Amino acid sequence: MYGLGGAEVMTYQYASEFARNGWRVFFFTKSGVKITDDFDDKHIEVITYSKKNSLRIYFKFFRLMIIEKINVVFFRNNTIALGVLALFQNLLNYKLIWSVKHDDKCGKYASTEKLRKYWNESIPILKRVKYFLMDKVFRYGVQHAHIILAQNNFQKDTIFSVFKKSSIINYSSTHIPCYNLKRENIILFIATMKDFKRPHLFCEIAGEYSKSSYNFKIIGKNFIDSKKSITLLENMKLNNVEYLGQLELEEVRQYLDKSKLLINTSSAEGFPNTFVQAFSHGVPVITLGVNPDNLIDNYNLGFVCKNKNSEVIQKINLLMEDKNLWNNYSQSCYNYSKEHLDITKNIKILMNIFLKQAI
């Protein structure tokens, strides 16, 4: 489900492809039941855990390592668990692969940045010590990971600059469907609602089209914070935005298949899974700044508007009113995804990386 976020969706797709190719996969997730209903039971075992009991998480993990003799651990997060996994890999004879999430999750303080922002400048002394230790453990994990997978050149350069570690760029991938010619005037926003996703900006943009025939829709899990959730719902209603809530991945694909545009208002991303899904359905993306490796500009996949709502509105008008122009951008997206984002092709590259670590 997209309520779980793009990282989980991407990992789910990778796990499914590895299983189809004969690998035995163990999928560790705090939300595994929701996203893994379609897993191949013969090759994938889903192991869920409660985030509240961290010691039990490690117990279940290391018990699995010992009993099943795991060869490779693929970790996609920026927590101290990376350091713990790195510490025990030689003892338990597995190789650690770290996959980076967002652009702001690969720096020196990636494991505590969110916590530090919460406290601002008034961090109590004990918290400072705690965050210092968390950062040390996280950095140990980065330094001792056998392979680091970055999502773009910015992440690759940051990791090398901060940690003096090389990494491999690995764009997210998906299954490429047949191209759908029949489209509706649907403009989508897809995300798990967090502050950096800035869904209120999408609502503001939609509000400029209150008298148009365009249908603005939001897909994704709402804020966990009840006040933020209520505020966003009110904002949607005020600006005629339809909220579809959490949807299964296949349902999201069905909406993309009949939509014309995807709007991204995030302040930071890596290579968003929503971009991958949109391009695979021939849906151009208009973004307020996120543009991994300048791909949107270089391949005519949409427009980058540099944090200006007025420019987003201008580009929406341009693509929605010019059918030939939209067709050109849509075909560019679809062709790019077939060439670069086809998971059936890209999974072979990833499997070769894993195999080299497993031997």
- Cβ atoms of 309 and 280 closer than 8 Å: no
Domains and CATH numbers, the chain: 2-173+342-358 (3.40.50.2000), 186-340 (3.40.50.2000)
Cβ burial, residue 270 (10 Å; 0-12/13-18/19+): buried
Q: Give the pLDDT score at 329.
A: 99
User: pTM here?
Assistant: 0.87
Task: Please write the tens of the pLDDT for every residue from 261-307.
Answer: 999 999 888 899 999 999 999 999 999 999 999 999 999 999 999 87
Task: Please write the tens of the pLDDT for every residue from 294-345.
Answer: 999 999 999 999 878 999 999 999 999 999 999 999 999 999 999 999 999 9
DSSP code of 197?
G
Helices marked H in the chain — which ranges? 6-20, 32-35, 54-68, 81-92, 113-119, 125-144, 153-163, 199-207, 226-238, 249-258, 273-280, 295-298, 309-321, 323-340, 343-358
Summary mean pLDDT of the chain: 89
Task: Please write the tens of the pLDDT for every residue from 342-357.
Answer: 999 999 999 998 888 7
Q: Give the pLDDT score at 6.
A: 72
Which range (2-11, 77-86, 163-172, 202-211) has the least confidence? 2-11
Q: Give the pLDDT score at 8.
A: 78
69 backbone dihedrals φ, ψ, rounded to 5°: 55, 60
Instruction: Band the pLDDT of 2: cuts 50, 70, 90.
Output: very low
How is residue 106 written in tokens? Answer: 């690969």
Q: What is the largest CA-CA distance in the chain?
A: 65
Q: Give the pLDDT score at 121.
A: 63
Mean pLDDT across the stretch 167-186? 94
Q: How far apart are CA 289 and CA 303, in angstroms?
A: 9
Instruction: Band the pLDDT of 215: cuts 50, 70, 90.
Output: very high
Mean pLDDT across the stretch 90-100? 92
Task: Please write the tens of the pLDDT for every residue from 222-251.
Answer: 988 999 999 999 999 999 999 999 888 889
Cβ burial, residue 37 (10 Å; 0-12/13-18/19+): exposed
How is residue 14 written in tokens? Answer: 């990778």
Task: Please write the tens of the pLDDT for every residue from 50-62.
Answer: 766 667 788 888 8
Does the CA dihedral 263-265-270-272 come out positive or negative?
Answer: negative
Mean pLDDT across the stretch 83-102? 92
- Cβ atoms of 145 and 82 closer than 8 Å: yes
Task: Please write the tens of the pLDDT for every residue from 12-44.
Answer: 889 889 988 989 999 887 754 455 556 656 678
Decide: helix, strand or coil at residue 101: coil
Residue 75's DSSP bridge partners are: 98
